[in-house]
């Protein structure tokens, strides 16, 4: 089960630097000219979870494996991308592959780093990008409606939904802000409609502004009061990469930052994608597995291996809290805290599972 977050924005807003930090290594070229990222860089990013470290300590696991999200650094978009300007066609093709949009807005001043629009204005930048995405979605849906070859394959419901979406988009309404039934939302996603995807904004600040923000961040918050906006300094976070864990913590404290900004970005993405984590724990490893909320025990087992789902018999389950309170699986078993659950059980966030199967 894969979930991909796409990192988008205008050229030179810090997307590739942010991507480098997310992957904890410099795999994306971060250069001061437009289109330095042409093909999308992709990487699996660990989502830190303090519970796993505690489980490993209690059980004496030799290794910890955190759950992951796939992050994609997508080439910068410019005005006219919906008509193929710049790398528009490639950009739109790549962004249609993701499940969540992380929109990076430049909120720092730097004369040495050019801006494709000539001035720093994060609100205008976001409006430009989102206008291009709206125009691209209108074109996509209109082509589908007008394509003669598909006419016999369309249902009245699909045509009605496409026309409704076009009408909303034509009024400048971003589709993710509209309440759709799940089946309609899924159909739009399957069609490749970009504006139906959930999104949040990342305000990329200069190092000196990360504590108190600046006018650019204030304007962004004023323009989008109901949106999630996460202030980070990609450059500052990047400078911490070569430090050990203790030194990094000291630096965060020096800047009065409670949490690694990129960890918060990932946790936000995890939450917006309606994901949660269950654990498997043993002497070899303590591991987190990513599932969607409301997943059944067989579906959760299938994330480990399809055979686990196909031949599912039952699952031995204990909550994280009970596991810690009992100081491990042995005492938990003695106290009767480990439950046997069947195919209809809905796995909860933090469950520790041991699956029984037969194929």
Annotated binding-site positions: 12-17
Angle at 249 between CA 248 and CA 250, to 5 degrees: 90
Alpha helices for the chain (secondary structure H): 15-22, 50-59, 88-95, 122-146, 156-170, 182-191, 215-223, 234-239, 245-254, 261-272, 297-304, 306-310, 320-325, 329-334
- Closest CA relative to residue 204, chosen from 113, 71, 118: 113
CA distance 87 to 52: 41
Residues 6 or more apart from 15 whose CB is under 8 A from it? 7, 8, 9, 37, 73, 74, 76, 104
| Phi–psi pair at 156, nearest 5 degrees | -60, -35
Structure tokens belonging to residue 135:
């125009």
CA distance 131 to 109: 24
Asked if residues 121 and 127 have their Cβ atoms less than 8 Å apart, the reply is no
CA distance 242 to 256: 20
178: helix, coil or strand? coil
Q: How far is CA 47 from the centre of its chain?
A: 10
Extract the annotated binding site for ATP.
12-17
């Amino acid at each position: 089960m894969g979930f991909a977050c796409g990192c988008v924005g205008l050229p030179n807003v810090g997307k590739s630097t942010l991507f480098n930090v997310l992957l904890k290594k410099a795999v994306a070229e971060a250069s001061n000219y437009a289109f330095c990222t042409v093909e999308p860089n992709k990487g699996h990013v660990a989502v830190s979870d303090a519970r796993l470290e505690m489980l490993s300590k209690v059980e004496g696991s030799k290794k910890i494996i955190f759950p992951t999200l796939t992050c994609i650094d997508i080439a910068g978009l410019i005005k006219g991308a919906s008509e193929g300007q710049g790398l528009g066609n490639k950009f739109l093709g790549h962004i249609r592959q993701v499940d969540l949009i992380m929109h990076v807005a430049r909120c720092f001043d730097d004369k040495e780093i050019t801006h494709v629009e000539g001035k720093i204005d994060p609100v205008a930048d976001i409006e430009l990008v989102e206008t291009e995405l709206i125009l691209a979605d209108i074109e996509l849906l209109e082509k589908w409606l007008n394509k003669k070859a598909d006419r016999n394959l369309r249902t009245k419901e699909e045509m009605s939904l496409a026309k409704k979406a076009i009408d909303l988009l034509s009024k400048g309404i971003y589709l993710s802000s509209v309440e759709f039934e799940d089946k309609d939302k899924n159909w739009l996603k399957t069609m490749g409609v970009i504006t139906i995807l959930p999104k949040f904004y990342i305000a990329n600040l200069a190092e000196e502004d990360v504590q108190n923000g600046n006018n650019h961040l204030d304007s962004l918050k004023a323009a989008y009061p109901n949106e999630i906006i996460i202030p980070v300094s990609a450059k500052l976070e990047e400078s911490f990469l070569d430090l050990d864990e203790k030194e990094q913590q000291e630096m965060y404290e020096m800047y009065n930052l409670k949490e690694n900004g990129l960890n918060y970005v990932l946790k936000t993405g995890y939450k917006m994608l309606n994901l949660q984590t269950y654990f498997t724990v043993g002497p070899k490893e303590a591991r987190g597995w990513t599932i969607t909320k409301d997943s059944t025990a067989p579906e959760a087992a299938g994330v480990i291996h399809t055979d686990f789902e196909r031949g599912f018999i039952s699952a031995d389950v204990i909550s994280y809290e009970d596991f810690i309170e009992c100081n491990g699986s042995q005492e938990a078993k003695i106290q009767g805290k480990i439950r046997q659950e069947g195919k209809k059980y809905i796995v909860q966030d933090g469950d520790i599972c041991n699956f029984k199967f037969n194929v």
